[in-house]
Amino acid sequence: MIEFKNVSKEFEVKDKKVQALKDVTLKIEKGDIYGIIGFSGAGKSTLLRVINALEKPTAGEVLIDGEDINKLSAKALRAKRKQIGMIFQQFNLLETKTVYENVALPLKLNKVPKNQIRKKVEEILEFVELSDKRDVYPSKLSGGQKQRVGIARALATNPSILLSDEATSALDPKTTTAILQLLKKINRELHITIVLITHEMNVIQSVCNHVAVMENGEIVEKGDVIDVFSEPKEIITKNFVKTVIPDSVPDKLIQSIQSDTRNYKILRLKFLDSDSTESVLAAINKRYDVETNILFANISEIQESILGIIIVQIIGSSAEIVKAQSYLKSQKVGYQEVGLGETQAQLYAQDPSDAYVTDTVPA
Ligand SMILES: Nc1ncnc2c1ncn2[C@@H]1O[C@H](COP(=O)(O)OP(=O)(O)O)[C@@H](O)[C@H]1O
Ligand SMILES: [Mg+2]
């Protein structure tokens, strides 16, 4: 387990202080594929680099399996680092060395006997499906193949943790998918905990079980991927979710709602692995004096779950709408009230005051 306890990191550049991490508290369990998402400069790489003590926190503790990484002796730290592999956006391969030599390097540095190195390297190259490129130099490889070499090198010391710093950001979508599948296989078959940072929500969607959202050095939201995707709370998270679940209401519908003088609320409903969608809306129409108007519907697959999102306008008196909401609750349908502005395709501003419009027009 990796545990951040009130971790802060401040850099000082020419009398100017940059707070790269602010009071980060986070638990990453063994076996997780934990995604960290945020814009450039959010503090993601710094967060990753304090895990293997490439950066030392200015305050707080980083515990790995209960041990404070910054309190280890030099020898113990070297041993700990062997358990932590790392891969990068730019692969960081040695251009003058072959695939085999690149992967063998960490073992050589650890003075592993030659025959053991050979056995290990051949085994990992097989695992990452690069056996046929064994004696090739990196310049002859595609981006995806280079990243496979990076991964093989990171696996050479049998780590229990793999840190991935934007490992797919330089790759095309098809290659990205293949590398993400490989990371999944590493997690599943080698039981390696993966901490993966990215600025792309589709990366989180396809491989992670947990996610934390970073903004200005802080973790502003975290949880199970399915929970965060289905009910994002912070504006930044909603924006990220929108990039993979484009829950935007067509402009025409928005215009017609803007001129709707009746009393209404807009709800964003979520259905998980369920087929009760239609029956729930039909029941609301029947049971209460309300009208429902579907503005958007989408079904997506996240991990092994099916997530349905429906944005619906519920029209009626406030009292009837409240009853309808209670009914939704009783049926275990998750929902959020949203403003019309939040349903537009355009990503809204970071400043919450810019983002919301009142969601109820007075009757
Ligand atoms: N070694 C460093 N020296 C000075 N400032 C740094 C250093 N590393 C990171 N920073 C600053 O810390 C902040 C977070 O950076 P980083 O962790 O690289 O963010 P991200 O990976 O999310 O893009 C940025 O403002 C960056 O300029
Ligand atoms: Mg970074």
What is the residue extent of each domain of the chain? Answer: 2-236, 251-355
Confidence of residue 273 (pLDDT cuts 50, 70, 90): confident
pLDDT digits (tens, 9 = 90+) for 294-348: 999 988 888 888 888 899 999 999 999 999 999 999 888 888 888 887 776 544 4
Ligand 1 pocket check for 212: Cβ under 6 Å: no
The residues, any chain, with a CB within 8 Å of residue 47's CB and separated by 6 or more, are 4, 7, 21, 24, 36, 197, 214
Question: Which burial class, exposed, middle or buried, applies to 301 when counting CB atoms under 10 A from its CB (0-12, 13-18, 19+)?
Answer: exposed
Q: What does residue 219 show for φ and ψ, rounded to 5 degrees? A: -90, 115
The mean pLDDT value of the chain amounts to: 91
Neighbour order of strands in the sheet with 59-64 = 16-28, 2-13, 59-64, 67-68
| CATH numeric code, 2-236 | 3.40.50.300
Confidence of residue 356 (pLDDT cuts 50, 70, 90): very low
Question: What pLDDT is attached to residue 256?
Answer: 87
76: three-class secondary structure by DSSP: helix
Best substitution site from 4, 17, 18, 166 to test ligand 1's pocket, by max atoms within 8 Å of Cβ? 18
pLDDT digits (tens, 9 = 90+) for 107-145: 999 999 999 999 999 999 999 999 999 999 999 999 999
251: three-class secondary structure by DSSP: helix
Ligand 1 pocket check for 45: Cβ under 6 Å: yes
Confidence of residue 351 (pLDDT cuts 50, 70, 90): very low
Pick from 65-79, 170-184, 296-310, 336-350: least confident? 336-350
Best substitution site from 10, 11, 215 to test ligand 1's pocket, by max atoms within 8 Å of Cβ? 11
Whose alpha carbon is nearest atom 11 of ligand 1?
A: 20
Question: What pLDDT is attached to residue 362?
Answer: 35
Residue 249's identity, in one-letter code, is V
Ligand 1 pocket check for 16: Cβ under 6 Å: no
Q: Which residues surround ligand 2, an ion (CB under 5 A)?
A: 45
Question: What pLDDT is attached to residue 277?
Answer: 66
Ligand 1 pocket check for 14: Cβ under 6 Å: no
Sign of the alpha-carbon dihedral angle for 115, 117, 120, 126: negative
| CATH numeric code, 251-355 | 3.30.70.260
Question: Which burial class, exposed, middle or buried, applies to 121 when counting CB atoms under 10 A from its CB (0-12, 13-18, 19+)?
Answer: buried
Say if residues 102 and 118 touch (Cβ distance below 8 Å): no
